[in-house]
Structure 1
């Protein structure tokens, strides 16, 4: 497994305006051509966190996925982030697109009931680990971060991705839980959040982070600051830490009974 360069894109989003958001993001990502392996965008990066999926949803053959394929090919890097997709109901779907045009996806499992997301979207029912450049990557979306059982590392991933629209009043929880997920799962964690104000008047502070397996921040920035930052994940350091401090061997055995396809064991 080689080292992995990962770029976090923290930006404001235009409310329910896919084309302006794609244009801005393309401009922000352009300097990354040939400089990174993976680019991570926020949750619902074309619209902001909207409860009007009937107005903005796209299909899996829609313009945003096509745009992601173009960007991944031209930049020579995988591109990921979540989009409102219509597929047997509306989905808050994380799309992961590689330079060769391959597409993986994960549908958000935990829908944010405090915003009534569960009334507008269909929850995902399967956990997703994506293999890319030798790395095993767990795909997660926003509110999933609060549920450690769902995020639990079963010795099957090396990096957890959390894309989000996480409001500023709860920024301490966001930052704390990203560090906790990294420490308890002995993995790298990348959390990408938006900044600015959305169409409902909610403020977002960003606080996007890249965290190592000890819970130490590798990438961070001032509150509310737009940025594109790249960090390197060291495969040897991760494996050495897991070998020298094998806490995972003492994890409790349990089964998770649910309607999900992928039971925990």
Structure 2
């Protein structure tokens, strides 16, 4: 029977400081004791959720190069979202990077209107499913969690992964929706959120979790 081992990195983030964030995550990765198949980082792990600021990466920028290096070094798939420049806007891009350097991605579909994300970020148009160790995996980013129709399981995935910068003020919503998505789709759900206060003064309380198809 196939297995899938995760390393889920819940952390505070240095606001707009890519160098500090990447160095911090390198230290956290070095402390992993068991060999994971998949390493998952939070949404916008290199910058924080600074969608309105000039912090977009090039398509093949330094953060993607870093992800490739970590995937190769740890012989594991590594995933996390990066703000990638797309013309005058950005994409909130969930990267899926394999140890052999192969890159797949999903662009966040549902943009956070209360944070004016749609003014600065281009919404993704496609639903993607990745595969690892025989498991089919649906990538989602933060606000996507509130749209169950988009996540409906048509027997095309086994695990849903949502990475987020989900505020502490709505932590109960995060916890409840992760559980609900697992039960209604009869799948495993992995949620990875950040902690700490961001540059806009918004607090985050984590809640990184894994639920089985019974919501447990």
- Say whether the fold is shared (TM-score over 0.5): yes
Residue 119 of structure 2 corresponds to which residue in structure 1?
A: 119
Q: What does 1:75-114 align with in structure 2 at a 5 Å threshold?
A: 75-88=74-87, 89-114=89-114
| Separation in 2, partners of 1:118, 1:80 | 23
Cα deviation code 1:158-198 (max 9, x no counterpart): 00000000000000000000000001111111100000000
Residue 208 of structure 1 corresponds to which residue in structure 2?
A: 208
Residue 234 of structure 1 corresponds to which residue in structure 2?
A: none
Cα deviation code 1:93-139 (max 9, x no counterpart): 00010111111100000000000000100000000101122110001
User: Shift of residue 33 of structure 1?
Assistant: 6.9
In the alignment, does 2:37 pair up with 1:37?
A: yes
Runs of 4+ in 1 over 2 A off after TM superposition: 31-34
**Secondary structure, in 3 states, of the residue corresponding to 1:74?**
helix
RMSD (Å) for aligned C-alpha atoms: 1.1
**Secondary structure, in 3 states, of the residue corresponding to 2:48?**
coil
**Secondary structure, in 3 states, of the residue corresponding to 1:32?**
coil
| Separation in 2, partners of 1:144, 1:60 | 23
| TM-score of the two chains, using structure 2 as the length reference | 0.97
The gaps in structure 1 that reach 5 residues or longer are: 217-265
**Secondary structure, in 3 states, of the residue corresponding to 1:199?**
coil
| Separation in 1, partners of 2:19, 2:151 | 33
**Secondary structure, in 3 states, of the residue corresponding to 2:42?**
coil
Residue 161 of structure 1 corresponds to which residue in structure 2?
A: 161
Contact 1:56–1:84 (CA under 8 A) maintained in structure 2 = yes
The gaps in structure 2 that reach 5 residues or longer are: none
